[in-house]
Amino acid sequence: MFNAPVAALLIAASIPLLYLFQRDLPDMGMSLAFAPADLEEGRWSGLFTAMLVHGGWTHAWVNAIGALAFGAPVARLFGDRIGPTIYLLFYVMCGALATLGYGLIHWGSTAPMVGASGAVFGLIGAATRLMGVAPGGAVLALTDRRVVAASIAWMGVNAVTGLIGYVPGADGAGIAWEAHAAGFVVGMLAIGPLARAFGRPAARAPARG
């Protein structure tokens, strides 16, 4: 994260910057929030706008730090030419599909959800397959023991957080752990094809005799 590509820096910096402007909006940005009931009524814009607003400074800073730490290796994978565009699209895709997953699980709920956590967990899922990979090396296979172990650890922490229902700075708000899980899975699965198309090829699992 201390030698992050510009694309990762800009995405991370945008999170607290957007929250700074959000605080001056008449409704504190809640018109941009997503509610699962929106899907029934054909309002899909919240899938994208919800990741632009946050529930407080701590919420925004935690997501910004996560986006920088885990976004750096992902942005580096895509390179400098069209890489920043691919990285932005990847980030938005993870966030939107994470929010969609949350909406499908909580179908019909009118409770609003905000935050870029789903997109950040998408970066975490992708970065999990880049652990210990040298520049120019192959993305780790889904069945690699390091990927499996890290995935279990991340989802374990996510599940515990969801069960406790509290994190510092959340001001009593619920934790959308389902969106975190959906974003993680999306990022982990999508990084393979994207690496083959725009970066490094995915590694195959070793054959066993």
Taking only the tens place, the pLDDT of each residue in 17-43 is 999 999 999 899 999 999 999 999 999
pLDDT digits (tens, 9 = 90+) for 104-157: 999 999 999 999 999 999 999 999 999 877 666 678 999 999 999 999 999 999
pLDDT digits (tens, 9 = 90+) for 44-73: 999 999 999 998 999 999 999 999 999 999
The reply to whether 209 falls in a domain is no
Q: How far apart are CA 168 and CA 177, in angstroms?
A: 15
Q: What is the pTM of this model?
A: 0.89
Residue 60 maps to which CATH number?
A: 1.20.1540.10
The reply to whether 85 falls in a domain is yes
The reply to whether 203 falls in a domain is no
166 pLDDT exceeds 60?
Answer: no
End-to-end CA distance of the chain: 40
Q: What is the pLDDT of residue 118?
A: 96
Q: How far apart are CA 184 and CA 128, in angstroms?
A: 9
The reply to whether 204 falls in a domain is no
How would you class 198 by CB atoms within 10 Å of its CB: exposed for 0-12, middle for 13-18, buried for 19 or more?
middle
The reply to whether 207 falls in a domain is no
Q: What is the pLDDT of residue 132?
A: 77
Range of the domain at 32: 6-198
Domains: count for the chain: 1
